[in-house]
Structure 1
């Protein structure tokens, strides 16, 4: 039921919330989320939907990524995720760790690079302009 609500609220054609609401809530555009979801599903089986021990569908990939992003983007606490998404604290923390590790694995070559002296100088200059003493 929480998956259906999530889809109805954010992803269905006549969703409750607009694209702007999505961006404000998750700090990214919906198409960026869709790309992230697709990419993490392709490399990490954790983000595939499985059945729980009772044979019912477990958390959907959408739910897992939304919960982890909510924790990162808004500093949401794990107990609030239990209330809104029905996901336990331990599952929330596992999901967050899995997403972070997967993002680094998938995007490190494209977006993460070691800083050089020029980068360091630029950052130090920025800090000095706001009163930070190195």
Structure 2
């Protein structure tokens, strides 16, 4: 149900929220998140849809990326994510680290323009980027 609500709100062809609503909630534009979703799923198997250890449907790629982006965009605590999205703190943190590592792997050679407003963990302190904006 959480996945379907997320899709209906932001990702289906006629979402409830438009681009103007999307950017403040995700910290970047819709097309950047769509590219990120596509790229991350192809590089990191943890972001592909699969069953959990109990053979129940796990979190969708959209949920995993959204949760990590919300943690970054709002500097949200992992335990708050459990209350909102039903993802345990340890899973949220693993998910966040996985997304950050994958983003660095994927985009380290180009300027991460869509991430410039993030308040969270992804900044120029974690790796060397050729086009890192040193004025931040």
| TM-score bucket of the superposed structures, by smaller chain | 0.7 to 0.9
Q: Secondary structure at the match of 1:110?
A: coil
> Matched residues in 1 for 2:54 and 2:101: separation?
29
- Structure 1 residue 114 displacement after superposition: 6.8
Q: How does 1:1-134 map to 2 (within 5 A)?
A: 1-111=1-111, 112-113=129-130, 123=135
| Structure 2: distance between partners of 1:42 and 1:18 | 27
TM-score, normalised relative to structure 2:
0.80
Deviations 1:70-123 (A, max 9, x none): 0001111212211221100000000000000000000012232177xxx86xx4
The two structures, once aligned, show a CA RMSD in angstroms of: 1.8
2:110–2:131 CA contact under 8 A, matched in 1: no
**Runs of 4+ in structure 1 displaced over 4 angstroms?**
none
Higher relative contact order (CA 8 A, sep 6+): 2
Select between 61-70 and 104-113 the one with higher mean Cα deviation: 104-113
Aligned residues: 119
- Alpha-carbon distance between aligned partners in 2 of 1:114 and 1:73, rounded to the nearest angstrom: 21
Higher helix share: 1
Unpaired segments ≥5 residues, structure 1: 128-134
Larger-Rg structure: 1
Structure 2 segments unaligned to the other structure (5+ residues)? 112-128
